[in-house]
Structure 1
Amino acid sequence: MKLTRRNVVTGAGALAAGSLLPGRAFAQEPLNVGFILIGPVGDFGWSTMHDRGRRRMEEVLGDRVVSTQVEAVAPPDFDRVATQLARTGSRLIFTTSFSYFQPTLRVAEQLPDVMFENATGTSTRDNLAIYNARFYEGRYLQGVIAARKSRSKLIGYVAAFPVPEVIHAINTVMRGAWSVDPEMRIRVIWANAWFNPGVEADAARALADQGCDVICQHTDSPAPLQLAEERGIFGFGQASDMTQFAPNAHLTSSVNEWGDYYAERAQMMIDGTWEPTDTWGGLGSGMFRLAPFTNMTPEEVSEAEAIRDALADGSLHPFEGPIVNQAGETVIPAGERLSDDQIRSMNYFYEGIDVQMPG
């Protein structure tokens, strides 16, 4: 676990900040914002982009804000780290992983004068907001592109944990692929880690050995994409534009953009207008974008751009019914859509996906 501090408020300044009531404006002292990262800043993916978002917040707000960041925090260490951030003056703390959601609920109850925001969480409290981007929009397009590029009709997926965000991503990749070719199939290997390059590479290698010629990932390092480059197959980046790591294999990446959101939420704390909101922005929101399409024909790029634009303007929705689960039960009928709460609590795979929850 590595601690990164920038202009940390200490001593009398920290005590003064800590004495303010939640939601009150900070007149003299800069707002101290804490960040807890699940991986190292140098993962080139999820945690890298949250760090860039933090730096963007500082750039926008200048001397109105300072930040304290702790990276590579294992969930069992979360309570200690969050409590220490609060003790050293952080009045707004961003906890940047679904693995932190339950711990954040617990600590937020213990520290009612500190405002928390959890990335990919599922419910709010008086001092807890949640935020996420609709990455499933990019996953749907990955499925379309994979079906165009695959010759084996097998997509490989390196998955972290069987949490709803990962489950609905796998389902969405397949729905996109089936829109092109109903014979497409997927194979999943669970890495049981968000960031472990060696395990991620081994999983991608095993998937390639099984005949998968396009690799998707829901882990944070470039390792699966680099393995695709090594094996002469295709892949997608995660969280940042990973073109540089696999110039011949990379097709596109979903790129996270957190900075403007962080700046807006910190400014609300400064103004005394912060509220426990539920933010879930899609391609049209600026919270994420797709990296340039590479290693694709002009026709494939044109199709991908049209689908991207339809997803952004809402004319295409990946969770339109009918949706049937593996047990043959209709989850939602034709003509209806899953609600946001149904999407982010998803605990089943679609009918036709031969994937089981890990034991």
Structure 2
Amino acid sequence: MNAKQRSKYEWGLLLGLITVIVLFVSSLWYFSNDKDQEPPMVGMVLLGGMDEEGWNAPQYRGMKKACDSMGVKLLVSDHNSGLDGACADAVREMVKNGAGMVFLTSYSYTTDAKTLIREFPQIAFGTNSAECRGRNMTSYFIRMYQGRYLTGALAGLRTKSNIIGYVAAMPNSEVNRGINAFTLGVKRTNPQARVIVMYTGSWQDEEIEAANANRLITKEHADVITYHQDEPAAANVAEELGIDYIGYYEDLQNRSEHDLTSVVCNWDRYYEEIVKYYLKGEMNFVDNRWVGMEAGLVELSPFSDAVDYEQRGILDQLKKEMMAGNFVFAGEIYDNQGKLRCRSDEVIRDDRLLQHMDWLVKGVEVLE
């Protein structure tokens, strides 16, 4: 074998060796990445129990259904107070176990969230609160106030005493936004009616919620009750006393004719959309993800038989107006202290609705 032949032979051996190495490495990559790769993981932190109807259970069911449909593993930690660091500890455990995104499902987690987004800059966060911002934090929520407006209109049609009771957790932007939309709906159908609000100071305190509902009915003569709490304690009292009520977060299944309807939302569809953003690496491209009836995410549960044909027709017309682009928070709006908050030619911007609704509209009275 001459030198030229030897050179060709050696190059052939080298190319063959390279081919074998490439095939070996490729097979390792295929089996390690395609066959044994862990599914993506997201975490969810809940204030109450995942089986507690009201706020917590629909959140859990919606996220579970969304994750199952996309092959995403869900890590859940429930019964986490926002006051003792339990939320932060739960998130640290989720990140340790592989979560790439974490959903914080309560306003009570705002303080912990401010720490966590700095501690874990590589993790994507979603929160129901609009009071915490960060490069890796996006506020997500559904425009529940649209449903509030319609149920307020129904309450205005139903009341005979012109007094409507509202049991509310605390005066933050989310709760006040709901009270204001509800009252604007009341005023649309019954300008003479008043909405009396009693705050409980907590998302979950059935004893105080029940006591407030009882007082609104027996002492203040409210003949329609609604609430913004994590469970339907106020509705339970109204049912016991034979008073009309409107639910929130969950369909109360028309217990009786007094269960007029509930504001409900399709969390599974919304969470599926949000998780898709995360999987594409786009979750935190915007500060807020806020959608509502226009996307089919906010609905009213079936009406009770007490809601007559004419009342249903009025509510349907109001919904059509919203779908056509008429905003709830638009036109001349005064607060209950007489200050002009929205001019006749103005629409209140989303950032104001989300973060700066520290006032209540004309027609609302707060009972201490």
CA drift at 1:191? 1.5
Q: Does residue 307 of structure 2 align to residue 296 of structure 1?
A: yes
Identity %: 28
CA-to-partner distance for each residue in 1:17-53, whole Å, 9 max, x for gaps?
xxxxxxxxxx922111100012222321111111111
Change (3 A) 1:274 1:347: closer
2:74 matched to which residue of 1?
Answer: 67
Does the 8 A contact of 1:40 with 1:47 survive in 2?
A: yes
Does the 8 A contact of 1:37 with 1:72 survive in 2?
A: yes
**Matched AA of 1:268:** Y
Q: Choose which of 199, 202, 214 in structure 1 pairs with 2:208.
A: 199
Matching of residues 301-320 of structure 1 within 5 Å: 301-311=312-322, 313-320=323-330
2:25 matched to which residue of 1?
Answer: none
CA drift at 1:122? 4.4
Does the 8 A contact of 2:197 with 2:366 survive in 1?
A: yes
- In structure 2, what is the Cα distance between the partners aligned to 1:274 and 1:291? 30
Change (3 A) 1:111 1:351: same
- In structure 1, what is the Cα distance between the partners aligned to 2:125 and 2:61? 19
- In structure 2, what is the Cα distance between the partners aligned to 1:336 and 1:272? 36
Gaps of 5+ in 2: 1-35
- In structure 2, what is the Cα distance between the partners aligned to 1:306 and 1:42? 36
1:43 matched to which residue of 2?
Answer: 52
1:157 matched to which residue of 2?
Answer: 166
- In structure 2, what is the Cα distance between the partners aligned to 1:126 and 1:198? 40
Deviates more, 1:108-117 or 1:255-264: 255-264
2:365 counterpart SS class: coil
**Matched AA of 2:75:** T
Q: Choose which of 340, 353, 358 in structure 1 pairs with 2:364.
A: 353
So what's the TM-score if we normalise by structure 2?
A: 0.84
- In structure 1, what is the Cα distance between the partners aligned to 2:149 and 2:273? 29
- In structure 2, what is the Cα distance between the partners aligned to 1:182 and 1:288? 26
CA drift at 1:118? 0.4
Q: Does residue 106 of structure 2 align to residue 106 of structure 1?
A: no
Q: Does residue 266 of structure 2 align to residue 257 of structure 1?
A: yes
CA drift at 1:265? 2.9
1:29 matched to which residue of 2?
Answer: 38
- In structure 2, what is the Cα distance between the partners aligned to 1:28 and 1:267? 19
1:41 counterpart SS class: coil
Q: Does residue 178 of structure 2 align to residue 172 of structure 1?
A: no
- In structure 2, what is the Cα distance between the partners aligned to 1:178 and 1:102? 36
- In structure 2, what is the Cα distance between the partners aligned to 1:165 and 1:134? 10
- In structure 1, what is the Cα distance between the partners aligned to 2:283 and 2:45? 20
Does the 8 A contact of 1:128 with 1:276 survive in 2?
A: no
2:252 matched to which residue of 1?
Answer: 242
Does the 8 A contact of 1:241 with 1:254 survive in 2?
A: yes
So what's the TM-score if we normalise by structure 1?
A: 0.86
Does the 8 A contact of 2:196 with 2:365 survive in 1?
A: yes
Q: Choose which of 221, 233, 243 in structure 1 pairs with 2:231.
A: 221
Does the 8 A contact of 2:198 with 2:366 survive in 1?
A: no
1:138 counterpart SS class: helix
CA drift at 1:123? 5.4
CA drift at 1:354? 2.3
CA drift at 1:314? 4.1
1:13 matched to which residue of 2?
Answer: none
Does the 8 A contact of 2:105 with 2:128 survive in 1?
A: yes
Gaps of 5+ in 1: 1-26
Does the 8 A contact of 1:43 with 1:195 survive in 2?
A: no
**Matched AA of 1:72:** H
Deviates more, 1:246-255 or 1:270-279: 270-279
Deviates more, 1:150-159 or 1:181-190: 181-190
2:350 matched to which residue of 1?
Answer: 340
Structure possessing the higher radius of gyration over alpha carbons: 2
Please report the RMSD computed on the Cα atoms of aligned residues, expressed in angstroms.
1.8
Does the 8 A contact of 1:39 with 1:194 survive in 2?
A: no
- In structure 1, what is the Cα distance between the partners aligned to 2:49 and 2:320? 33
Matching of residues 141-156 of structure 1 within 5 Å: 141-156=150-165
2:190 matched to which residue of 1?
Answer: 181
**Matched AA of 1:73:** N
1:187 counterpart SS class: strand
- In structure 2, what is the Cα distance between the partners aligned to 1:260 and 1:141? 22
Does the 8 A contact of 1:134 with 1:280 survive in 2?
A: yes
Question: What is the number of equivalent residue pairs in this alignment?
Answer: 327
2:217 counterpart SS class: helix
**Matched AA of 2:126:** E
- In structure 2, what is the Cα distance between the partners aligned to 1:333 and 1:273? 36
Change (3 A) 1:167 1:271: closer
Does the 8 A contact of 1:229 with 1:248 survive in 2?
A: no
CA drift at 1:262? 2.1
